[in-house]
Amino acid sequence: MNARQTPAANEVYKLPPKLFDARCKACWFVFGLIVLTVASFWSLNLQWKELFSADSARLMGKFIGELLSPDFSANFVSKLWKASLETLAMSLLGTVIAAVLGLMIALPASKTHEGDRAYFKAPARLLLNALRSIPELVWAALLLIAAGLGPFAGTLALGLHTAGVLGRLYAESIENAGPLAPPLRFAHAA
């Protein structure tokens, strides 16, 4: 035998640590999360008796029964029709706001040709990313304070979020259009 042994082509793989070995950090982390979850349920003071009571089952049955047999009275259908039209109007107006605002921010967020210095590219892209990253529901909650309760806050929320999405798409399209689009160069210079 040689004093120097050459290593084998395939080293022996180590077995994973035992499940509750002190060295298994992930196992202890998961165990800690389970303990915290159980402790959080204990601290909530849930009333399990009332959740699974006969009265609760009766109310759930009534809810399912009403769900399976909707109300088609004229009064309810007229309210439903008005609310549906209001929702469609909100989405249409929000999309128009988003298209205009997105294009207004996309022009400074894009570099139209090689010589374009695009001074406002980074701040405009940052604004577009901020608009896109905040969900519509959060925008609506923030705008309820500013615009008040009603469809206007929802319309603005849809418009702001979608402006970030459309603005990013517009900016990428403008940059990918290349130097063969002189009208964009004039719009960007204005």
190 residues of the chain, pLDDT tens digit each: 455 666 555 566 666 656 556 667 777 888 899 999 988 887 887 888 888 999 999 999 999 998 898 888 999 999 999 999 999 999 999 999 999 999 999 999 988 777 778 889 999 999 999 999 999 999 999 999 998 989 999 999 999 999 999 999 999 998 888 665 566 555 655 5
Q: Has residue 39 been placed in a domain?
A: no
Return the structure tokens found at 27: 């196992």
Q: How many domains is the chain built from?
A: 1
Nearest Cα neighbor of 188 from 123, 124, 92, 110 is 110
pLDDT at 114: 77
Q: Is residue 46 part of a domain?
A: no
- For 46, the enclosing helix (H) or strand (E) is none
Domain presence at residue 61: no
Crossing angle between the packed helical segments 182-189 and 151-177, to the nearest 10 degrees: 130
Does some domain include residue 119? yes
How far apart are alpha carbons 78 and 83 in whole angstroms? 9
**Domain containing 183: what range?**
77-189
Q: How far apart are CA 50 and CA 11, in angstroms?
A: 60
Cβ-contact 179, 113 below 8 angstroms:
yes
CB 76 within 8 A of CB 84: no
| 8 A C-beta contact, residue 188 and residue 107 | yes
Domain presence at residue 115: yes
Residue 146 in domain? yes
CA distance 19 to 31: 11
* Domain-embedded: residue 50: no
Domain assignment present for 70: no
